[in-house]
Amino acid sequence: MLGFLRAYFSDDLAIDLGTANTLIYVRGKGIVLDEPSVVAIRQEGGPNAKRTIQAVGKEAKQMLGKAPGNITVIRPMKDGVIADFTVTEQMLKQFIKKVHVSRLLSPSPRIIICVPCGSTQVERRAIRESAIGAGASQVYLIEEPMAAAIGADLPVAEATGSMVVDVGGGTTEVGVISLGGMVYAGSVRVGGDKFDEAIINYIRRNYGMLIGESTAEMIKKEIGSAFPGSEVREIEVKGRNLAEGIPRSFTISSNEVLEALTEPLNQIVSAVKSALEQTPPELGADIASKGMVITGGGALLRDLDRLLMEETGLPVIVAEDPLTCVVRGSGKALEKMDKLGSIFTNE
């Protein structure tokens, strides 16, 4: 009843609490924060030994793999869900503090937060409670494929099937949406992190070199591809030689990266095929005509759309600005939160 008053005084937030990045959308302002989901914690010594937060976000990510013994750099989200509850809560609190101006009269914000559709009730409850602990007055959960579809401007409310594949940092979510609800939702715990891990393992196995997560991510972004193309690119990489124990440099090609990524990519293809198998035929016909939409940071992997196209024989479209689709969708839901009860998930 007093929603208009609350809307006037409070900055409600939509949060994409991702494994790799956390994005925050503020009502009426748009996306105001895009930071890596990384926290650096300093363990102090001496008589007043305590743990303090050294940095969060971009600053903390720069410390990843370079921190001394008394600083632990943590990625508190793993596979799309909370791996370290306390640190996640603190990270959220810091991010909210950055974007939500605390005024005398402003009430605590209401928060829409995205959850993977494959997450368990316990994992959802942990996300809800960490948001409440970070200062939310109320928390609403929205499943990531639904948010991604809204963010990609798909006609989610119409009686037509829309398929969205959200390749995130920790999970890949596949959803088929019609009439404002999820007809099918599937999730595999494969995403950008698994790609990095696959590249690290490939280089260790084939080159006998050890590289860090940041380097693996850089290789993936620079020359990673999901489908063999006519152009072969190369990049020079530095790492520690396992046999000699000293840093060396070597060159790796895009075809080798493709070989490294084969296994996690196959899991994504399987998830998409499984979704298509279980989609009702009427909606499947709509998808065959319109195509499926890829969102999430994984959609930026070169030729991922081509891979899915060739594997499924269906048109595949990469959404505009795929990295922010989920938070934009959550933001759109936030703007009309009071009228869109059906798109939120219950626990």
Partner 1 sequence: MSDAPLPDPADARLPGRRLAAARAARGLTITEIALRLKFAPRQIEALEADRYDALAGPAFVRGMIRAYSKLVGEDADALIAALRASPLTAAGPTVTGPRAIGVAIPRRPRRGSMVYVVLSALVVIAVAGVVGEWLLRPVAPPKSAATRLALPTQPLGVAPVPAPAAAPAAPAAPRAAADVAPAAAPGPVETVVNARRIELDFDRESWVEIRDAEGRVVFSQLNRPGTRREVEGVAPFSIVIGNAHGVKLRYNDSDVDLMPYTRTDVARLTLK
| Binding positions for partner 1, 162-201, rule CB under 8 A | 179-181
Q: Is 319 in the site for partner 1 (CB under 8 A)?
A: yes
Q: Which stretch binds partner 1 (CB under 8 A): 49-57, 58-66, 134-142, 290-298?
A: 290-298
Binding partner 1 (rule: CB under 8 A), the pick from 335, 338, 345, 347 is 335
* Minimal distance, residue 291 CB to partner 1, in Å: 6
Nearest to 26 by CA among 321, 320, 323, 334: 334
Q: Which is nearer to partner 1, 211 or 287 (CB)?
A: 287
Binding partner 1 (rule: CB under 8 A), the pick from 4, 69, 341, 346 is 341
Q: Is 283 in the site for partner 1 (CB under 8 A)?
A: no
Q: Which is nearer to partner 1, 133 or 315 (CB)?
A: 315
Q: Exposed, middle or buried: residue 324 (CB in 10 Å: 0-12, 13-18, 19+)?
A: buried
Q: Is 314 in the site for partner 1 (CB under 8 A)?
A: yes
Site string for partner 1, 140-159 (x = CB under 8 A): ----------x-xxxxxxxx
Give the count of residues interacting with partner 1 (CB under 8 A): 36
Contact footprint for partner 1 (CB under 8 A): 150, 152-159, 179-181, 289-291, 293, 305, 309, 312-320, 332-333, 335-336, 339-343
